[in-house]
Structure formats: C-alpha cells, structure tokens
Amino acid sequence: MSTGSERSLSETLWSPEKRVVVAMLIWLALLALGSAFVSTPFIDQHAGAPPTYANTMYLHGLLIGMVGLLGLIAMDVFGAGHKNPTMHKLVLWGTLGAALFSGVGGIFDRDIEDTVFLWMQIVSFFFLDEILISLTLALFFRAVETRFVATWLAAIAAFSGFISAVMGHIAGWILEFGNYPAAIVGGYASMAAETWQSLLTHLISAHAHEMVVAVIALLVATFCAYFSMETRGNRLMRFGLWWTAIGTIAMTLVYLVAGFSQAQPPVLFAHGLNGIGGDDFVTGLGVMLPGLVALVGLGIEKLPDPVTRWGSALLSTLLLVTVPVSGYYIYMHETLYNHGLISAPRGVNDAVYGWFHQDFALFLIPAVMTLILAVMHFTVDARQRRTSVGTLLAGSALAFIGGMLYVFVSPTLYGVSFIVTTVGLAGIVLGVVLALRAIMAQGVQAGTPERAVLSGTD
C-alpha cells in the first residue's frame, strides 16, 4: 500500500468505506447462514443430487458481494483508490448495490420464471461489471506507475473476472430468451459450427470456471501487496507472482476460446474414462500452484503478523490439495468414480467431492481469505485481529481434514469424517463472528503491519 493512501485507523474508524464493509459482512454472514435452509450439501451431494437453479442463484448472491468486498480492499491495498478517487467511489457504492440486489434476488429467485427477482440479480450483475471495470482500470494505471508485478497480476485478474462476467451475461440471456434474436444468437452459433444450446453450455462452463480462479489470483496479489511490495531480495515471491500472472492470461485465453467456440480444452493423459481436462491443468498448474509459491515467498519475509502471512499460504495449500491434486487423482481414476454416478464403486465419494471441492475449496476458502484481509485492513485491536484470524485458520484446517476423510476414506453420512468436517465449518462460523467483532471494535490502533512504499520499478 502506498503511504499516500494509508490512513490511520483511529482517524477513519467509521469511514464510509468501513461502514459499507461492516454492513456487507453482516449481510453476507446472514446469507451464508441462510444457505443451510436452502441447500443441505452433505445430504444432497451424498445422494448425488445435481445442482439446482435456485441454489446456484443463491450462491451468486454470496459470491458477488464477496468479489465486491475484495475489490474494495484491493483498491486501498494497491493505493489505486487514492490515485483514482472517482473509481474508488464507483467500487465502493457498486459493491454495496451489488451485494444488496444479488442477495435479495438470490433469496427469492427460485425459478427462471421469477422475473422480478431474476432482474434484481441482473441489476447486481451490472453492478459487478462496473466494479470490475473500475478496478481493472485503476489497477492498470497503478501498475503502469509502479511497474510491480503484484499490481499487474491484480489488474490482469480483475480483467479476467470481467471477461468471465460478460460470458455469464450472454449465457443468462440465452437461458432466459433462448435463440432470440435468432439472427444473432443462432447466427453466431452456426458461424461457430455449433448449436445455440451447445453455445449456452460452453458459456456457462467457461464463466463458472474462470471467475473463481480469477478471484483466487486477485487474492494472491492482494495478500502479497498488503504485507510487502516485492522486496528486491525475495525472488521466490516475485517468481510466483509472474508465474501466476502468465497463468491467468493463459486461463483467460483458454476460456475465451472454450466459451465462444466448439473447440474445447483437450483431455490430457487420456486412457478410457481417465484423463485431465486441459483447462483444469492450466488453472491448477498455472494459477493455483504458483499462487502458493508466491505466498510461501511472502511467509519467509521478515515482516509482522507471521501467523497471517503463513496462514495465507496454509489456505492456498488447502485449496491446491482439494482442487487440482485431488481432482487430478479422481480424473485419472474415473473408472472407479465415474463422474459421481452413485452406482460406480466410488460414486458416492465423487458426489461428495463434487460438493466439497466447489463449496469448500472454491467458494469458502476465497471467502475466508477475503475476510482475513478485511480483518487485517480494518481492525484496530491487534489481539482481536490475531484471535479472529487464528480461529478462521483453525476452522478451515479442520474442515479440510474432515472433508478429505469424508471423500477418500469414509463417505458415511453422520460418520466420524462428517462430524470433523461439521466441527471445522462451525469453527469458521465462530471465526466470522470474531472477525465482525474485531472489525467493529473501537480503540487505539496497534500492530498494523509496516508496508513498503509503492514506488520505483520492478
């Protein structure tokens, strides 16, 4: 963070930005608790139930708010908001609008025919576009000024998220209106040598896969920037950041092609049912693995808050093991798992994994990382900061252990692995409560990490 944008927490204890953050965190926490009444993934996925429209739209209500919150924090951390106050305001108020409309719409949008609530979510999608465009431009201008790779990575990740959002908009239009207008929708599909139905399928898949990985790349860049803007001697962190940036560009190109054409990523190491999707190979080894490398580089820095710095590397490790490592293993043993088919030898395991890798690794871990950034950025009391962050990390680690046991050892409903996972998730809920308490607390500023000045060239 630049010294120009860094403000005393004691002076801005209840700034408009902090008020928005607190309101959003309370709102998102209530939505997260409400999801228990919308979907029971343990039971549904244990039975191999496919995702439903209602549950998907409810999750959008959570995820859009989280992306907005991360964008708001990133504007401050990179000093982009100080240099571009208009864009900072656009991200600030866009985040509030996106969270409100997407959340309310997600609660009641139970069917494609629920027009009013569907359009509430569509409005939130446009708010998200405005957030991502403003964030991309502000970060790009900042990257040109500072020439730091973390800032370039953040700008690239924000732009990748915008590309994903556009594909989601087009998919939503086709989902709502079908092949209309036929001259455009069907005409483009024919030009791409596919049907409008297959175009819809490809756009949904590309949108869903790209958005969450772009958010992960933005999280990695923001964590590294928050603590240390690439000190000259830390080659490991800089290497990881450059690798992640190149991987994010490659991922964006892959999903652009996959979303808008019949050409799909090839299956690598194919053998019968076995094989790893080419896009999963790029996201796993091009974004998630180097993201961990960068965060390990951050951990070895001689900086304050080692628990949080190494905690970010821990969360990245949980993400890496849960998604690419476990996913690659299942892909290479599909004769046993058969894509979650319950009658397969390990079909129940794969059905449970389908829930766990999505809801825990790709949704919950990024949410926890975003919350930790919010705690570090807005909390006054250092002790409360450490307690809330430690609880979030402990709950995440325990949920991971239980989930891995649940998927690969014993998928028995209400068994030991189920209990361990549930206790871990309860720990995360407690961490959220403690985080809110820490952010809302008033007192004397203490223990804020000293961050290097964003100046010079990389």
Answer yes or no: are the C-beta atoms of 32 and 63 closer than 8 Å.
no
Please report which confidence band the pLDDT of residue 443 belongs to, taking 50, 70 and 90 as the band edges. very low
pLDDT of residue 46: 60
Record the tokens describing residue 331, joined without a space. 């892909």
Give the residue-averaged pLDDT of 84-92. Answer: 87
* Mean pLDDT for all residues in the chain: 85
Q: Which of these, 320, 151, 120, 333, lies nearest to 230 by C-alpha position?
A: 151
Please report which confidence band the pLDDT of residue 329 belongs to, taking 50, 70 and 90 as the band edges. very high
Least reliable range by pLDDT among 259-273, 357-371, 373-387, 443-457: 443-457
Please report which confidence band the pLDDT of residue 40 belongs to, taking 50, 70 and 90 as the band edges. low
Record the tokens describing residue 282, joined without a space. 């790029």
Please report which confidence band the pLDDT of residue 268 belongs to, taking 50, 70 and 90 as the band edges. very high
Give the residue-averaged pLDDT of 382-409. Answer: 93
Least reliable range by pLDDT among 13-22, 97-106, 373-382: 13-22
SS (H, E, C) 14-81: CCHHHHHHHHHHHHHHHHHHHHHHHCCHHHHHHCCCCCCHHHHHHHHHHHHHHHHHHHHHHHHHCCHH
Prediction pTM value: 0.90
177-188 pLDDT, tens per residue?
899 999 999 999
Give the residue-averaged pLDDT of 431-451. Answer: 67
- Say how far apart CA 74 and CA 88 lie, in whole Å: 10
